């Protein structure tokens, strides 16, 4: 199955997120679901934690500056100094405790090609009794705006918990659905039309800030394709019927639009899809110290030669050559970080022990990171040269004017920094031009759907081994930085069966997000492809509460237990965060042995 790597859209969709069907523990949603009140006449809708209209984007997680808006008379509407007395009066009339009011722009996703929807956003605390009142208040506030000559601004009354997004925790083995999940999921897949499905899993999910998601009720979490236009109410009812059949009345249902994606990073994603602030805030640049002068180690970027896409170098393995008996080092990452989708029919690949048979050349660091590092140095040089004192002294020197000794002394210090940066830039440019970042060649790879030992179902295998070239130093798998309390002296690939327990912490070092950890969910998740038959594969998942466990660029990172055992490899996750997918180490090792013919594999020891 090919998981879609499309991460943006120029359309914005509305979807209700269903709260629990029954009363539940602290942190859960209301007793009964909100039915919604969308009408063809006004487009207003009421959903969990939000009500408003007439043009709301899918979910209120992204706020932007208020866009240019035209009033009914053709003039430009300005929100500065706008009096909110009418809004507060309407809120008081409907017994709504307004917390804050602001004019903002809303986007469903941070896509720079989508113009934000002009929105009057009213923050309040949602309660069960808010049902109906918020919807009518939003309509009345919108009518008030119309009375002031403004028709093009939407109104939302929103609980700010919705902006933060839900937090995810694993279900507990004591939950009634835990031992039944396999049967429940199978029943859903056979009795409900899965058109538009992207993933189906079961977790504890909540919106409360003060309460942990682990205190919330188990929730079936279904994601739909963003372009899906089918009636989700029918899907929701079908899932409810299955839950009733298994007598699981306390299990909730949450539906939202989101695509499972692979966590590769690229200039295309930055330059064509995502906002510039995302570009600036999340790039990890190279420097002379952190790449040019040291061996490749886990967490570095890796890509096919001179590519604009990259993932994470997971670490160093050693394979025992079945002919010579020697242990040979290879690096591991995801195949999709190296091979485009059209290569899928060519898997598995194996170069053989004697030579590489022309399999792709690999870089680490990636050219993308090398270029970014040069750009960072150039930006630093530019910032120094733009300093007022630096420009003043430079001009005075050119004009032959007298310069105060104190100013000239400061100028010399700045110029010294500029000289150092120019030297760094020259070294980095030589590093780039000489292509010293070339790592080696693919030794073996696989990217197929296979029956896996750990899921006992079809899963997607996604790995690539890279044999380093002779002049690249072999790096370290040192994991001591992961945790002061972890016992990483015995780090390695578990020889016997690794039994992951629901709730286990798993650690990784990714190229994008660095050192993070998440919590293992013992219940497998179905991920659907975007092909005509929409078939599913089953993956292991990690939840991160509200913290980011992995993001774009982290595919290929190995996950480790607290005692240093390799648990698996990151392959992707949900666009909106919360869930990370990984391939279990036993499934990886099984397939590596099958493809290469080796019998012994180990994590390289320092």
pTM of the model: 0.78
Token pair for residue 366? 């990636």
CA dist 29 and 23 (Å) reads 8
At 463, phi and psi to the nearest 5? -150, 160
Q: What does DSSP say about strands 361-363 and 327-333: parallel, antiparallel, or unpaired?
A: unpaired
Position 514 scores a pLDDT of 87
Position 349 scores a pLDDT of 87
Please tell me whether residue 357 adopts helix, strand or coil conformation: coil
Is the Cβ–Cβ distance between 171 and 204 less than 8 Å?
Answer: yes
CA dist 562 and 499 (Å) reads 13
Neighbours of 324 (CB within 10 A): 9
Domains of the chain, residue spans: 45-164, 167-258, 276-366+438-603, 367-434
Position 16 scores a pLDDT of 32
Is the Cβ–Cβ distance between 110 and 62 less than 8 Å?
Answer: yes
Token pair for residue 96? 């709504």
Token pair for residue 474? 């072999």
At 386, phi and psi to the nearest 5? -85, -5
CA dist 502 and 174 (Å) reads 11
Position 311 scores a pLDDT of 92
Position 7 scores a pLDDT of 27
DSSP codes of every residue in 147-174: HTT--S-EEEEE-HHHHH--EEEPPPTT
Q: Measuring CA to CA, how many Å separate 498 from each of 485, 494, 585, 604? A: 20, 6, 8, 18
DSSP codes of every residue in 394-445: HHHHHHT----HHHHHHHHHHHHHHHHHHHHHHHHHHHHHTTTTEEEEEEEE
Neighbours of 589 (CB within 10 A): 19
Token pair for residue 491? 């780090």
Is the Cβ–Cβ distance between 51 and 44 less than 8 Å?
Answer: yes
Position 232 scores a pLDDT of 77
The CATH number assigned to the domain with range 167-258 reads 3.30.70
Position 491 scores a pLDDT of 58
Q: What is the mean pLDDT of each run of 10 residues along the chain (606 residues)?
A: 29 33 38 36 83 79 74 71 87 92 80 80 85 91 87 88 81 94 95 90 79 75 79 86 94 80 55 34 49 75 89 93 91 90 77 75 91 92 93 91 91 94 92 90 90 81 91 75 48 72 90 89 89 80 81 91 89 80 92 93 83
Of 280, 286, 318, 279, the residue nearest 302 (C-alpha): 286
| Third-level CATH fold of 276-366+438-603 | Thrombin, subunit H (2.40.10)
Is the Cβ–Cβ distance between 50 and 157 less than 8 Å?
Answer: yes
Look-up of token digits 């997680």 = 61
Identify the burial level of 36 via C-beta atoms within 10 angstroms of its C-beta, where 0-12 means exposed, 13-18 middle and 19 or more buried.
middle
Is the Cβ–Cβ distance between 504 and 568 less than 8 Å?
Answer: no
Neighbours of 437 (CB within 10 A): 24
Position 174 scores a pLDDT of 93
């Amino acid at each position: 199955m090919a998981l879609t790597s499309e991460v943006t859209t120029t359309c914005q969709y509305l979807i209700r997120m269903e709260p629990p069907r029954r009363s539940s523990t602290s942190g859960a949603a209301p007793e009964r679901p909100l039915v919604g009140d969308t009408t063809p006449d006004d487009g207003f809708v009421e959903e969990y934690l939000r009500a408003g209209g007439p043009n709301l984007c899918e979910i209120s997680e992204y706020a932007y500056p208020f866009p240019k808006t035209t009033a009914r008379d053709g003039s430009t509407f300005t929100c500065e100094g706008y009096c909110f007395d009418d809004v507060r009066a309407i809120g008081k009339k409907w017994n709504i405790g307004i917390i804050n009011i602001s004019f903002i722009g809303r986007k469903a996703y941070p896509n720079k090609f989508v113009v934000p929807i002009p929105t009057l956003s009213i923050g309040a605390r949602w309660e069960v009794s808010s049902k109906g009142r918020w919807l009518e208040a939003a309509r009345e506030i919108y009518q008030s705006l119309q009375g002031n000559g403004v028709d093009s601004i939407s109104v939302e009354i929103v609980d700010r918990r919705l902006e933060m997004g839900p937090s995810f925790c694993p279900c507990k083995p004591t939950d009634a659905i835990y031992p039944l999940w396999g049967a429940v999921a199978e029943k859903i897949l056979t009795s409900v039309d899965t058109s538009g499905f992207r993933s189906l899993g079961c977790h504890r999910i909540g919106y409360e800030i003060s309460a942990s998601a682990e205190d919330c009720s188990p929730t079936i979490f279904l994601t739909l394709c963003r372009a899906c236009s089918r009636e989700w109410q029918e899907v929701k009812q079908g899932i409810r019927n299955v839950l009733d059949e298994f007598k699981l009345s306390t299990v909730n249902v949450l539906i939202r639009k989101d695509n499972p994606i692979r966590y590769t990073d690229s200039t295309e994603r930055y330059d064509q899809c995502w906002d510039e602030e995302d570009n600036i805030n999340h790039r990890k640049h190279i420097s002379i110290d952190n790449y040019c002068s040291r061996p490749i180690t886990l967490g570095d970027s890796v890509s096919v030669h001179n590519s604009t896409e990259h993932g994470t170098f997971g670490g160093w393995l050693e394979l025992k050559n079945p002919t010579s008996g020697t242990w040979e080092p290879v690096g591991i990452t995801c195949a999709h970080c190296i091979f485009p989708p059209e290569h899928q029919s060519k898997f598995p690949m194996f170069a053989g022990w004697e030579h590489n048979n022309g399999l792709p050349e690999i870089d680490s660091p990636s050219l993308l990171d090398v270029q970014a590092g040069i750009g960072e140095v150039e930006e630093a040089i530019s910032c120094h040269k733009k300093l007022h004192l630096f420009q003043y002294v430079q001009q005075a020197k050119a004009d032959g004017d007298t310069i105060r000794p104190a100013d000239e002394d400061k100028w010399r210090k700045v110029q010294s920094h500029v000289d150092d940066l120019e030297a760094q830039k020259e070294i980095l440019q030589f590093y780039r031009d000489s292509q010293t970042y070339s790592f080696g060649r693919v030794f073996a790879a696989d990217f197929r759907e296979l029956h896996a030992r750990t899921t006992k179902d079809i899963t997607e295998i996604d790995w690539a081994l890279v044999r380093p070239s002779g002049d690249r130093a072999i790096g370290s798998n040192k994991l001591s930085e992961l945790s002061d309390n972890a016992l990483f002296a015995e780090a390695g690939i578990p020889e016997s069966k690794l039994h992951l327990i629901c709730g286990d912490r798993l650690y990784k070092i990714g190229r994008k997000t660095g050192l993070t950890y998440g919590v293992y969910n013992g219940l497998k998740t179905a991920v659907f492809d975007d092909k005509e038959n929409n078939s599913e594969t089953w993956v292991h998942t990690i939840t991160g509460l509200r913290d980011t466990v992995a993001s774009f660029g982290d595919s290929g990172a190995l996950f480790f237990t607290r005692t240093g055992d390799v648990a698996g490899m990151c392959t992707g996750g949900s666009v909106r965060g919360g869930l990370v997918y990984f391939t279990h180490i036993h499934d990886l090792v099984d397939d590596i042995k099958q493809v290469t013919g080796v019998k012994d594999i180990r994590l390289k020891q320092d």
